[in-house]
């Protein structure tokens, strides 16, 4: 039972012997592995608005996805003085490849342009997760691209001989989510048990044009 992420399947971390058949490899590459990065930044003092209805704020840049979505945590963690900025996909991959100091400098520039009237101190700490660079994840969750249909999805989930596949990317209704990962584990275990105990091993992939 292979339960690694789609991103790992798209990498060469696991060597299948014999190699996976072409139909399986094609289906693996037809789906996307998204990257979603939550960068935490700590400051010696607060300089942003807080209180009800002000938990989130946005930065609009001409550069798409450049440090756009911000969140403060004053209600949950009083006096932590921490901000969270979320970036995705292309920006995530770019940021993962640079030093944390470079990211911090970019963030400081953005914040100082967002709050021109405030005394914005340098951040004292930054946490930059690197899900895309991590060979055991290669991203954060799968994404079903437009134009890819049920046929490829069934192929993505289908076993190859006695090798079974599970994980959020194989979840029937909730791919991308943690409950999808959980439910797919149950589904895959049922498929395996049916095969081992009841000899019901045939996995039906509906034809592309059925």
Instruction: Compare residues 104 and 138 and give the one whose CB is closer to ligand FAD.
Output: 138
Nearest distance in Å: CB 50, ligand FAD: 23
Please write down the long-range contacts of 118-126, taking CB distance under 8 Å and 24 or more positions apart.
118/47, 119/47, 120/47, 121/43, 121/44, 121/45, 121/47, 123/41, 123/42, 123/43, 124/42, 124/43, 124/44, 125/40, 125/41, 125/42, 126/39, 126/40, 126/41, 126/42, 126/100
Instruction: Compare residues 40 and 66 and give the one whose CB is closer to ligand FAD.
Output: 40
Binding site for ligand FAD (CB under 6 A): 3-5, 8, 13-14, 36, 38, 131, 136-137, 140-141, 167-168, 176-178, 181
Nearest distance in Å: CB 4, ligand FAD: 4
CA 62 to chain centre: 24
DSSP state of 80: -
Instruction: Compare residues 8 and 123 and give the one whose CB is closer to ligand FAD.
Output: 8
Nearest distance in Å: CB 210, ligand FAD: 28
* Rg of the chain on CA atoms, in Å: 22
Nearest distance in Å: CB 180, ligand FAD: 6
Instruction: Compare residues 47 and 133 and give the one whose CB is closer to ligand FAD.
Output: 133
Diameter of the chain by CA atoms? 71
Nearest distance in Å: CB 107, ligand FAD: 18
Instruction: Compare residues 10 and 115 and give the one whose CB is closer to ligand FAD.
Output: 10
């Amino acid at each position: 039972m292979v339960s690694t992420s789609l991103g790992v399947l798209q990498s060469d971390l696991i060597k299948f012997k014999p190699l996976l058949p072409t139909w399986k490899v094609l289906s693996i590459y037809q789906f996307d592995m998204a990257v979603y990065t939550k960068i935490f930044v700590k400051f010696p003092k607060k300089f942003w608005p807080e209180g009800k209805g002000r938990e989130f704020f946005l930065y609009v840049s001409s550069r798409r996805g450049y440090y756009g979505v911000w969140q403060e945590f004053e209600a949950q963690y009083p006096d932590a003085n921490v901000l969270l900025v979320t970036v995705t996909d292309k920006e995530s991959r770019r940021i993962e490849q640079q030093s944390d100091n470079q990211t911090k400098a970019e963030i400081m520039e953005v914040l100082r342009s967002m709050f021109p009237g405030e005394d914005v101190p340098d951040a004292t700490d930054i946490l930059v997760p690197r899900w895309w660079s991590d060979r055991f994840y290669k991203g954060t969750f799968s994404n079903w691209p437009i134009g890819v249909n049920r046929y490829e999805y069934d192929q993505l989930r289908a076993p190859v001989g006695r090798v079974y596949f599970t994980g959020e990317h194989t979840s029937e209704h909730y791919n991308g989510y943690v409950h999808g990962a959980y439910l797919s584990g149950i589904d895959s275990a049922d498929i395996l048990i049916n095969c081992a105990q009841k000899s019901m091993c045939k996995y039906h992939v509906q034809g592309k044009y059925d």
